[in-house]
Amino acid sequence: MGIKIIGTGSYIPEQITTNEDFLHHNFVNSDGSAFEVKNDVIIEKFTSITGIEERRYAKEHHTASDLAFFAAEKAIQDAQIDPESLDYIIVGHNFGDVRSGQLQSDMLPALAARVKQSLGIKNPKCVAYDLIFGCPGWVEGMIQAQAFIKAEMAQRCLVVGTETLSRVVDSSDRDSMIFADGAGAAIVAHSNETGGILSHESATYTQDETYYIYSGKSYHQNANNSQYIKMHGRKVYEFALNHVPKAMKACLDNSGKSIKDLKKIFIHQANEKMDEAIIKRFYRLYREPVPENILPMSIQKLGNSSVATVPTLYDMVLKDQYPEHKLEKGDLIIFASVGAGMNINAITYQL
């Protein structure tokens, strides 16, 4: 018996924005002063560090809850279940519904309630709520869903990660090139099969780390008082390298499985070099070399869509959109993420 993912879905927006589209942006330093180098140099360095070449933005008339609905609908179809049988809908996000051309966030009613309405679910005992946990929101939602099922409070849960970060970026900030939009979803259910969620690990660091990722004003000195997503990139990088590998190790050790059994690692798509460095440190803790092809990556073409990166990548691998990363029944994988909070989490999962 186990708690397993019985269906997945994702929504990847169609609008592609390439790095070249940022050539004419007026990037400035945090104090508003101009950079000493031209944009083509900034973009070249950005690409070499993050690996991002393209990112996806939502259509103007779509919001984060719309994207969440599209992904949820696909997950329900994939699981072949009646949506009325869902006990919980958990939607991880960070900025709510931000409509195109506006910066004010709309989070009332909850995005999960909007998704439930869009799905046409009438059952009032299907409880819908939002989870604000930074980029690790979907992984944490999965942990909460398995807790509900384990406690016999639920049989089936829908967990969604969704974000439209393109609506909350400061165009004068180089970091705006990192962020993207998207949504991914999974149906978690009690199963008579073995495997599923074997172990999990979560942590929140709120000393010096609390405001490594935050909301702040535009770097343009004459800008209005609107708030945009901001981060101390170097501090985030160092924090992730110091803490994520240890959390992943604790999670895997608690599963009773061996590092040699691990088939794939689905880590938050934040920064290509950072993710690769995390995996190297993780394997170093076991004094093992990093296996070839252990790390599926979508950041090069999809950018960083925060809460959506892990579930979208997992769904795309399952749906054979990354043929070099095949998964089979019985395979052992890890989901892991790091983000605002600062929060870290991981799940050891057996298909």
Residue 78: which domain range?
Answer: 1-351
Q: Tell me how far apart the terminal alpha carbons of the chain are, to the nearest angstrom.
A: 13
How high is the pLDDT of residue 223? Answer: 60
**Other CB atoms within 10 Å distance of the CB of residue 102:** 11
Helix axes 309-318, 64-79, angle to 10 degrees: 30
Query: How many structural domains does the chain have?
Result: 1
Residue 175 contacts residue 231 (beta carbons within 8 Å): yes
Exposure string of 120-155, with b = 16+ CB inside 10 Å and e = fewer, is ebeeeebbbebbebbbbbbbbbbbbbbebbeeeebe
| Residue 211 Cα to chain centre, angstroms | 19
Any idea which residue has 């909070």 for tokens? 341
The CA distance from 341 to 139, in Å, is 14
Of 11, 162, 165, nearest to 93 by C-alpha is: 162
How high is the pLDDT of residue 198? Answer: 97
How high is the pLDDT of residue 104? Answer: 81
How high is the pLDDT of residue 162? Answer: 98
Residue type, 247: A
pTM: 0.94
Of 290, 266, 264, 292, nearest to 279 by C-alpha is: 290
Give 49-107 pLDDT, tens digit per residue.
899 999 999 999 999 999 999 999 999 999 999 999 999 999 999 999 999 877 788 89
Give 276-308 pLDDT, tens digit per residue.
999 999 999 999 999 999 999 999 999 999 999
SS3 assignment, position 99 = coil
What's 244's domain CATH number? 3.40.47.10
Give 220-242 pLDDT, tens digit per residue.
766 666 787 888 989 999 999 99
SS3 assignment, position 202 = strand
